[in-house]
Chain A
């Protein structure tokens, strides 16, 4: 079911015209309202009027995550704070989070996007949508929440965790659509048996899963063990949050909501734009956002875009599952983790040259993070008690910076492998 066929199935020529008009407006807005962009555009010798075709997008400067950090917290906002009705934030690599803002119109847009997404998963008025993404600064919970309400569905804003209650309400309230990370959905499926909840023959019919990478193998498992159709949703807070792209009933790639975002694929090394069908880094330009518009934002996510027509009738280009990253970011239990965050904690402990290794694994269905830390002379104590205190403190600090718990393991010096002088920081043993 299409929530908004006028846009979702708009002929591509017409869509391009709409995109161009919206792009032109956006460039004008950021030029007028965001000093950072005015300077960047001027440096490239670009005036807003220079954007005459969609191809001129190539002329515009990229935006990277560091730009967001450099302008913390509100420096890139294109509206005065009095117009901003909400902020979200994701944990930063060095302590300060990345902040994004929304006007009321932005929130309305986001709701529209999610309403489309829930409809893509077969949802409509009358459905019961259990939102088990985290509510709070993370965009997952509230994003799905407002969109499902917009659609007219009944929302259960249960947020993440508390598996027993999740299952109880799922059964008692007759949940039809579950929204959470795919790994948590698998965990719920496993636990259901223990609590005597029959999900396969229950009312649950679809899952909207995202915020972490998953695979076709996991899709099969999820569909079988939950008795549902499992859909992939994509998004990032910088661009909007969840709902930037989403799979339709054909489950053959995620339709990018092109009336709101222009996607590109680039060569991450050269920055050169690549044609549809090429694998590269995905870049988005927001073309309607008021509070926090971004030009050519480099997501660091690697994927492929295709313009081939989809059987569902939607004309939006489709994006493959994210195949990797161009940086060292990990997604653990749906939370973005950068190895440098661990480094910052160790530096705070007075380590001048910390040696550490993140070991990510999946036990059953849940991700585990173990941080191996080499015991330097400075850390070492002759007493077990003090070393255990050190482990506890490190664990606490790391958990508060990352937002997920980690098991700390002290290891002997020089036991973490170094390659070409640079330490390997991550071992990811997960098989998706």
Chain B
């Protein structure tokens, strides 16, 4: 159920994001979702791509500090309170969310949200129990 997310260290200087996306574009890597966490000095770019292992290798070869992190992609009802419901489930079980961000594309009528939690397996089971759909990695890459 896990999705492999690519995380890249980026300095806050102009052109870096452009260079990185260029490298991926030339290698035929398609970006499905992304988010940037930043401080005044640096940022961490998080990407969901169609071919995570290729992307990891290519970025590494190009000299980026890059890692693969397991996350989960959760279908969230695209209506008021949809996200709150999922968060409530995780919260009640004491599962701490490190960060989350949304997909632009949808897998169905529902919105797709990427969650990074420490206890991934626990979270997947818990969400399944509450009839919340966690999308498989292979399906996410194909979106």
Contact B37 A413 (CB under 8 A): no
Contact B44 A375 (CB under 8 A): no
Q: Which residue of A lies closest to B99 (CB)?
A: A383
Scan residues 68-109 of chain B and give those whose CB is less than 8 A from a CB of chain A.
Answer: 69, 98-99
B67 neighbours in A (Cβ, 8 Å): 377, 380-382
Cα distance A2–B10 when bound, in Å?
62
Q: Is B63 an interface residue (CB 8 A)?
A: yes
Q: Is B14 an interface residue (CB 8 A)?
A: no
Given contacts A412-B11, A415-B11, contact A380 B65 (CB under 8 A): yes
Q: Is A414 an interface residue (CB 8 A)?
A: yes
- Least CB distance, B95 to chain A, in whole angstroms: 16
Scan residues 13-48 of chain B and give those whose CB is less than 8 A from a CB of chain A.
Answer: 16, 37-39, 41-42, 44, 46
Cα distance A415–B12 when bound, in Å?
13
Contact B41 A382 (CB under 8 A): no
Contact A410 B42 (CB under 8 A): yes
Contact B7 A413 (CB under 8 A): no
Chain B interface helix/strand/loop/mixed: strand
Q: Which residue of B lies closest to A410 (CB)?
A: B42
How many chain A residues touch the partner (CB < 8 A)? Answer: 18
A10 neighbours in B (Cβ, 8 Å): none
Contact B64 A413 (CB under 8 A): yes
The CB with the most chain A CB atoms within 10 A, among B5, B44, B69, is that of B44
Contact B39 A384 (CB under 8 A): yes
Contact A413 B65 (CB under 8 A): yes
Q: Is A411 an interface residue (CB 8 A)?
A: yes
Within 8 Å by CB of B7, from A379, A382, A411, lies: A382
Contact B44 A414 (CB under 8 A): no
Cα distance A387–B69 when bound, in Å?
15
Cα distance A376–B66 when bound, in Å?
9
The CB with the most chain A CB atoms within 10 A, among B41, B64, B67, B69, is that of B41
Contact B63 A384 (CB under 8 A): no
Contact B41 A409 (CB under 8 A): yes
Q: Is B9 an interface residue (CB 8 A)?
A: yes
Q: Is A272 an interface residue (CB 8 A)?
A: no
Q: Which residue of A lies closest to B10 (CB)?
A: A412
Contact A383 B9 (CB under 8 A): no
A411 neighbours in B (Cβ, 8 Å): 11, 42
Per-residue interface assignment for chain B, residues 114 to 132, with 1 indicating a CB less than 8 Å from any chain A CB and 0 otherwise = 0010000000000000000
Q: Is A328 an interface residue (CB 8 A)?
A: no
Q: Is A351 an interface residue (CB 8 A)?
A: no
Q: Which residue of A lies closest to B60 (CB)?
A: A377
Contact B42 A387 (CB under 8 A): yes
- Least CB distance, B3 to chain A, in whole angstroms: 13
Cα distance A302–B7 when bound, in Å?
49
- Least CB distance, B64 to chain A, in whole angstroms: 7
A376 neighbours in B (Cβ, 8 Å): 65
A412 neighbours in B (Cβ, 8 Å): 9-11, 16, 63-65
- Least CB distance, B41 to chain A, in whole angstroms: 5
Contact B9 A375 (CB under 8 A): yes
A380 neighbours in B (Cβ, 8 Å): 7, 9, 65-67
The CB with the most chain B CB atoms within 10 A, among A379, A382, A414, A415, is that of A382
The CB with the most chain A CB atoms within 10 A, among B7, B11, B69, is that of B11
Cα distance A415–B39 when bound, in Å?
19
Q: Which residue of B lies closest to A388 (CB)?
A: B39
- Least CB distance, B48 to chain A, in whole angstroms: 13
Within 8 Å by CB of A413, from B16, B63, B69, lies: B63
A375 neighbours in B (Cβ, 8 Å): 9, 65
Q: Which residue of B lies closest to A409 (CB)?
A: B41
19 chain-A/chain-B pairs, Cβ below 8 angstroms:
A375-B65, A377-B66, A380-B67, A382-B7, A382-B46, A382-B69, A382-B116, A383-B44, A383-B98, A383-B99, A384-B38, A387-B9, A410-B9, A410-B42, A411-B42, A412-B11, A412-B16, A412-B65, A414-B63
Taking beta carbons and an 8 Å cutoff, which residues of B are in contact with A?
A: 5, 7, 9-11, 16, 37-39, 41-42, 44, 46, 63-67, 69, 98-99, 116
With A388-B39, A411-B42 already in contact, 8 other A-B pairs whose C-beta atoms are closer than 8 Å: A375-B9, A377-B66, A377-B67, A382-B5, A384-B37, A387-B44, A412-B9, A413-B63
